Structure formats: C-alpha cells, structure tokens
Structure 1
C-alpha cells in the first residue's frame, strides 16, 4: 500500500508514476522565450541609438548646424570631406544657402567645419539606426526566430525609421529656399514628433518582450481600465507638449520672453497676433507659441498630479510606483522648462530639458503599460 503524502509535499519527478511538469507552456515552446530575449536586447540597442539621435538632433538645432549640408545623398554622403578640395566644395555649396547669405556671411572655413561635423554626425547616426534595424530584422527572419505576432510590430518600427529619414530631408529643404535662415518650425515639429513616436514604439516593444507571452495574456485580463485611460490621456497631452516644444525651438521662442510667470510683464504676450495671415502666429509668433507651450505645461502638470492620486489606488505596487515616477518626472520637467526660459535657453540647460522630455515620455509609457498589463501580485503581497 502506497504511503500517504502531505498535501504540501512536493512530488519528486524521479519517482515512478510522478507527473512531469512542462518547463514552458505551449506559447513559449519552439525557442520563443530565447528569441524574445534576443529581440529585447536588440530593441534596447535601437532605443539607446534613437534617444542619442534625439539629443544630437537637439544639439544640431541649438548650434544652428542643420543647414550646413545642402544635399542629401544616402550612400556617398556617408563619407565626410577627405581633403581640402572636398571641404572647399562643401563650403561653396553652403555659401549659396540663404542661411549663409543672410546670417553667416563671412564665416571662416574653421567655423563651417564645426557646424558641418554636427550635421554629418546627426545623419551618420540616422544611417546607423537604419542599419541596426535591417540587420536585426533580417537576422530574425533568416534564423526563423520571429515570435508569433511580432513581425508586423517590428516591421512598422523599421518603416517609420525610413520615413523619418525622408521627413528629415523635407525639414532641411525648407531652410534652403527663399530667404529663410532656419527650417520651417512645423516641419521641425513633425520630425521631432515622429522621433518620439518611434522611441515610444520601441519602448513599448521592450516592455512586451520583457514578459512571457503567457504572463501577458493573464495580465491583460487584469487590466486596470481607468488607470490605463488616464495614462493614455497623459501620454497624448505629453506628446502635444513635445510638439509645442519643437515649435518653440524652431523659432527660438525660448529666448524671446525670459521672465516668469509673466511674459514681458504681463500674462498674455504683446503682439501675439501680429503676423498675417492669423494662423501663422500659432507656428511663427514667438510670444504666442511660448504662451501656448506654457499653458499646456501647466495643464500637463495638473494632469500628472491627478494621475498620481489615481495611481495610488492601483491594485499592485509596481503600477503605483510607475505612476508615481511618471508624475514626479512631469513636475521636474516643468521646473526645467521654467529654468530654461529664465536663462534664455543656453545650450546646456536647453539640451537637459530635451533629455528630460525623453525620460518623461518613457516613464509615462511605462505607467500606461503597467496599468494595461499589471504584474500579478502573490497572496503574500
């Protein structure tokens, strides 16, 4: 007669008749778990490259370097000028641009090389990002390691990276015609906005790849819909603020009104609708653009406080912490914005503000993910 067992005693799989527990569920079979780890590290590399690209793009704008290369050549443009004749040729092309004629006339070759290297580095980094995506994506296909449901998600990231290159040239081209000495602010906003969309899609994919598919299916059933909706609203409002920040940078509006909380000593800036037709003021009037950026910033801060209060009622501690950190970062970013204005947007403070936007964006997405896919809490808590 078999010996009776305690109900809490573990069954030894080596004993005759003991049932083996499968190492992984059906969803994770076929090397899927290992493939997800590979995908996650590849996406982390892409994420870091795109984040650096955004920062370098900001520095390129702040140093007025974006129009130093007047042609787009995807293949041969990879190499910089290698001799004096090549440098002279590039400089001669720049000397025909409106920026040189109306703003930088008399610039020396040494000064031209400084702005040229910024723009060349920005474009080279874009090519590296595209290459890293192509190698990773085709490698996964060739190795047949693409998990179910991931083909379209990863393909879209690559498509948008390609579109971003075209948008970048569309933006630069706006500053090479007429008497404009800068790129069009709305094109700059489109370029930066798409960069944050790509960064967000990569971050979301990293979050997904960090969890087993079985865990995600179970977590989806536990979705905290109210918190997920709040985080989605916070995400959309933050994205609008990022676009407005690009408009501010595009027309140097951050250096036009350097007092706070007022603007030129009053709540609403003077001459806010001085440009004809009226709609152009929303893109090109420094006072109005900065005013809208401030108002949306205040609104975002209030929204973040509300999100924090709502997040405190989340079922799991991971979700609560995610909402806390996202809300704190929104407030920190607002303070950085005010500091940037008071110091008339010097390069170091302005780029810190842009880095803050990246951190804020990712933390908001993380809070949204945690609300959509809560981490299951054990009985012990």
Structure 2
C-alpha cells in the first residue's frame, strides 16, 4: 500500500499539456490514419515509458490528430496486480497543441482517464463511411474512377431523357423485334418497306396511325433505334473501363462487387424494356382502349432506370468525396443538426421516388392529355374529381387506383404537392440552423429544384404535354433525385460523427473508474 501515495504524486506531476516529441509521417486522406511515433520521458525516476502511437484523421480539408496515449508504470512494482493497476490508472491523454483543445473532437470535457475513448472514436468517424470503397485506391486512381462513374451517370441521365422523348413521340412500338446483340438498321428502300410492313401489322398502326406514311415511319423508327443503341453503347462505356481498372487492380473488392451488380441491372434493363414493348404489340383487353404499353411495365422500366442512376450517383459521390461533403462541420452543434437533417432527408428521397413512379403511370395512360386544368380538375371543376371512382365497379378498387386516368393524375398531383410542401418545410426548419456550407447550399438547391419541377409540371399539363416540356419534366425529376442524393450523402459524415460522439460519451460515462475506498 506504500506505493499508492507515490502513484498519486506521479499522476499530479504530469501536466495535461506535457510536451511530447512527435515525428509525423505526412497526413493524407488515404489511408485515413497515418501513425506517428511518440517518445516521452517520464518526469520521475523509477518509471519506464512506453512507446505509443498517435493518428491523424482527415475531416474535409483539415487534418486532426487523435489523442496520444502515454502510459507509465514503475520498473519494479511490489505486486504484479499493483503493476497492472498502475498501468490502467495512470494512462493519460495528450493532444497536439496546434489544432485541438483539451475537450477534443467530441466537444465534451472529459476526465483525463476517459478523454482518449471519445477522441479516438471521433478521429476515425469521418473516414468510416467510404473507406471500404477507396481505402486501397491511390489518389490518381480514385479521381480517374470517379470521373468514369460520373460519365456513366450522365449517360444514364441522357438515356432516361431519350426514353421519355421516345415515349412522347409514340416511337416505342415502331420496332416489333428485339435482338440482344442489336438490330441492323434498314438501309435500302426494300429494307424500309419490310420494317414498315411489320409495323403495319401491329395494333397501334391499325387503330392510331392508319394514315402514317413511310417517311413518318422512318422518324419514329430512328427514335426507337437510337434509344436502344444508346443503351448498348452505355454497356461498352461501362464494361471496357471496368475491365481495365479490374485488370490493373485499381478497384477495391466492395467497389468491384457493387459495380458488377449495377452492370447486371443495366443488362437486365434491356430485357425489361423489351418486356414492356411486347405488351404494346398485343391487342388491348377492351376494344375501346388505345393500344399502348402496360403502365405497370412502364413503371417497372422507369423504376429500374432510376435505381441504376441512383446507384451510380451514390457510388460516384463515395469515390470522389470519400470524406463526405460536410467539410466545415467541426462543431458538435453542426453535427447534431446534420444528423437531424439526414433523418428527414431519407424519407424525402423515398417521397421523390414515389412521385416519379406515379409519373410513369401518368405517361403510360396518357393521363397528361386529360384534365388539363389546375388546381381543380374534372367537370364540374373540383379538387377531388367526380371521375375518380368512374371505373371502380369494372376494375375494382386496386386496379382503379392504377388504371383509371383520373385517379392516376390525381395521385400524381397530390404526391407532387406533398413533395413541394416537404421540400419547403425542410428549408424552413433546417435552413436557419448551423449546417455545413455545402449541405446548406444543397438544401436551398433542393427546394429551388422542387419548386421548378412542380411549376414545369403544371405548365406541361396546361399546354397539353408538348414533347419538349414533357421531356424537360422527366429530366427535372432526375435532377431533383440527384440533388436529394447529394444532400443525403453530404450529411452522412457529420451525422455519423455526431452518433459516434454520443456513443463514445455514453461509453466513457459507463467506463468511468469508481473512487477507491480510503486507505487507513
């Protein structure tokens, strides 16, 4: 027991700001932690120092060193158990005087014995999100792969817009056959006549385009052909660089697996597209119906396209910005606000996706050409139209909700207005709070794009869906989804840091050493 007073003197003799000799090894974003060797000489004789390590964490453009753990124990402890107790109780925390104060990244003043737990967890919080994808990649490889993925994302964006133009010009049923390797376009006049003869046998020509000429058929044929070939070229743009990066070992394992899944979804998208087109080449169930593709299959086709695009955009952000977008979010208040914003942005992203899918049903039923008034619809005009249950007895309640023109357009209107209200509420609630600069900009951009998209949709409806406005409206949906994904990704690193801080503080509180009884 005589060693306990000596232990107290040893603890009191070490200042919290004790100088340490540190030799760093260049702190860079990848890999996330670079170790620096620390040597420290104990202030009292009879003690032995232990060589320990410290790390630097990259959070945005600033580098924050984690706390250094320095332990000292007596060279000759009277009892082995006492030596271990001294080793546990005399663990002290030190920080670099240049960037951090004694409170640490968590922003919570902790006792010296508990400070290391919180700050070590916080130092690594910013690099946890995307390290699995970029940890083994060099800076040059990361930028090259990120630009390639950004190109693929832009290609998918143009592919979806081109598909919308194909739908608006009623060109999707002009090609009555589909081959996986691609179709050879007609060259001679005889080739064109053969293709036109195939189209003339389709229900769409017999009921809608009976007076179409060969020259008019060429236009819709080239539209559908361009849409198909644009997708096949996209496959090459994705597959060839992927093979090169894989052969040169520039892709990590998790990133390669995700890209393979996206490539498989892209290949299956062609099959889904042909499955959709086949539904339009069959006779409709009711003779009074206009031949068109199934709205369910059209919605599946558009949903898979949005899923592929969202996956590419998200992966691009993870590769190009592995530390997230909230570079200036260092304070605890900003981290908590970012965490709250992230909890609200995720259901908002789901709402945007549901609104886009409902738009696919509007396009599949040509519902935009009916009820061209706003905000009221129907005759007599009302917010809730009387024709909503018009086909409920014949189709049933569930099918009426997805196949009745009035019901489909009403659902799309309600979802669009709900999305607009939610975007405005997000800005009103979170815009006044302290947030990272980029997250704040994305929040304002999100609200602006939502207002522009709703305004564009109303204009498209009132003008009876011209091709240029209809395609711009579909591009606006993709733009809104892109901004939402960027906003969700931007708050992930600060939000995760806030969660880590709370857990670390709770763990530190639970691990606080209990006061030992007085020794008599």
Q: For the superposition of Structure 1 and Structure 2, which TM-score range results when normalised by the shorter chain? A: 0.7 to 0.9
- Alignment correspondent of 1:187: 297
Q: Residues of 1 paired with 2:355 and 2:325: CA distance?
A: 34
Q: Residues of 2 paired with 1:85 and 1:361: CA distance?
A: 45
Unaligned 5+ residue runs, structure 2? Answer: 1-20, 33-133, 285-289, 497-520
Instruction: Deviation per CA, 1:118-172: give whole Å up to 9, x if none.
Output: 0000000110111111112211111111134311221121111112111111110
Choose which of 408, 420, 426 in structure 2 pairs with 1:301: 420
What's the CA shift for 1:213? 5.9
Q: Residues of 1 paired with 2:324 and 2:395: CA distance?
A: 56
What's the TM-score, normalizing by structure 2?
A: 0.65
Q: Residues of 1 paired with 2:324 and 2:210: CA distance?
A: 63
Q: Residues of 2 paired with 1:246 and 1:302: CA distance?
A: 21
Instruction: Deviation per CA, 1:26-73: give whole Å up to 9, x if none.
Output: 357765322211111111111111111111101000000000001111
- Alignment correspondent of 1:73: 179
> Is the counterpart of residue 226 in structure 1 residue 345 in structure 2?
no
Taking the TM superposition and a 5 Å limit, the aligned residue runs for 1:2-81 are: 20-21=25-26, 25-26=30-31, 31-77=137-183, 79-81=184-186
What's the TM-score, normalizing by structure 1?
A: 0.88
Greater C-alpha radius of gyration: 2
Q: How many residues align?
A: 360
Taking the TM superposition and a 5 Å limit, the aligned residue runs for 1:239-254 are: 239-254=353-368
Contact 1:35 1:147 in 2 (8 A): no
Choose which of 101, 105, 128 in structure 1 pairs with 2:206: 101
- Alignment correspondent of 2:321: 211
Contact 1:316 1:375 in 2 (8 A): no
Taking the TM superposition and a 5 Å limit, the aligned residue runs for 1:316-355 are: 316-355=436-475
Q: Which has the higher contact order (CA 8 A, sep 6+)?
A: 1
* Moved segments of 4+, more than 3 Å: 17-20, 22-31, 212-216, 218-224
- Alignment correspondent of 2:241: 136
RMSD of aligned C-alpha atoms?
A: 2.7
Instruction: Deviation per CA, 1:296-347: give whole Å up to 9, x if none.
Output: 1111111111211233224312111111111221111111111111111111
CA 1:188/1:18 → structure 2, altered by over 3 Å: closer, same or farther?
closer
Choose which of 259, 275, 289 in structure 1 pairs with 2:373: 259
Contact 1:318 1:370 in 2 (8 A): yes
- Alignment correspondent of 2:387: 271
- Choose between structure 1 and 2: higher helix proportion: 1
Instruction: Deviation per CA, 1:162-188: give whole Å up to 9, x if none.
Output: 121111111101101123611011111
- Choose between structure 1 and 2: higher strand proportion: 2
Choose which of 138, 151, 169 in structure 1 pairs with 2:274: 169
Instruction: Deviation per CA, 1:209-256: give whole Å up to 9, x if none.
Output: 11246999x999958332112111110000000001111111111110
Contact 2:449 2:480 in 1 (8 A): yes
